[in-house]
Amino acid sequence: MDYRTESPEILREFLFYHETIKGHSKRTIDEYFLDLRTFLRYMKQHKNYAPQNIEFDEISIMDVDIELVKSVTLSDVYEYLAFLSRDRPIRKNSKNTEYGLSANTRARKIAVIRSFYKYLTLRSNTSNRLEENPISDLDSPKLRKALPRFLSLEESVKLLDGVDGMYKERDYCILTIFLNCGLRISELAGLDLTDLRADSIRVLGKGDKERIVFINDACADAINDYLFIRKDIAAIDTKALFLSSRRTRISTSTIHSLVKKHLQAAGLDSTQYSSHKLRHTAATLLLKNGVDVRTLQELLGHEHLNTTQIYTHIENSSLRDAAMRSPLSDHKKS
């Protein structure tokens, strides 16, 4: 799948902008392409521009132009939402799939459509520019606000104290960083030895955005203990901080598995918690211990804390203070 050859000019322009100017990852761009391809296919079918005897997923969008995009109304988009909520298969390649996408999924797709039209109205300087945005008043599906699951302080300590096994130094270090710093699993797997500093780590987040995360004493001790073991490993990937049993960079699936293993060993429900829940745990524990929301936003690498809150830069002194306020900052393996 390559949007550069499978999308019309009006869509390529939007996707090029987000890839080259906004710096979004290939995965994000591919998701944008798939979401907008479905939307444009529906609009072609809805407005009788597609052949009657062709399957929905076979409709070409290569002939979509500014006239079709401009003709879309709010009513058309709401009908598209109804199509997604009732008729769109959840897993289109499965014989036993259910139909109707969740409100969260529909909201994400609507956000992409909004962004597409906003770009054509405000950013485009080509013949594809819209003079007016026909869907500027588009509402998103109402979302059920569910609190993320997280470990309590006592459960977090129990998880850390229960770490054992052949790779205990590595696993303990990974769990400690998760619970104190709230890194994403991909960020943790991507750490290099050169990302380590005396009191911080350099993290490469979503969209290749770098940030500095300050570490507390618990993290520093766990990293040093692991490095003492790692120096004797004949690593195949010499850059990677965390190594797998094959001496290559640890994968996200391996991290996911080891988190589940240690949760279960600690007597915690491994079906209810995951590596991402440890990120929620870190955020929750920090908030409960006085770290303000804007500092936490920078610490976790969030561009937005929610759909209405914009990214706010916080001074490094606040980030350092946030690291030290974690209730696990002085915990050492017994």
- The whole-angstrom separation of Cα 197 and Cα 207 is 23
206 has catalytic annotation = yes
279 has catalytic annotation = yes
Q: What is the residue-wise DSSP string for 94-125?
A: -TT--B---HHHHHHHHHHHHHHHHHHHHT--
The catalytic residue among 46, 256, 276, 277 is 276
The catalytic residue among 22, 288, 311, 332 is 311
3 has catalytic annotation = no
- The whole-angstrom separation of Cα 243 and Cα 170 is 8
The catalytic residue among 70, 158, 168, 206 is 206
129 has catalytic annotation = no
Q: What is the residue-wise DSSP string for 138-202?
A: PPPPPPP--PPP---HHHHHHHHHT--STTHHHHHHHHHHHHHH---HHHHHT-BGGGB-SSEEE
- The whole-angstrom separation of Cα 250 and Cα 260 is 15
Roughly how many angstroms between the first and final C-alpha of the chain, as a whole number? 51
276 has catalytic annotation = yes
* Residue 211 DSSP symbol: E
304 has catalytic annotation = no
The catalytic residue among 184, 249, 262, 331 is 184
Catalytic (active-site) positions: 184, 206, 276, 279, 302, 311
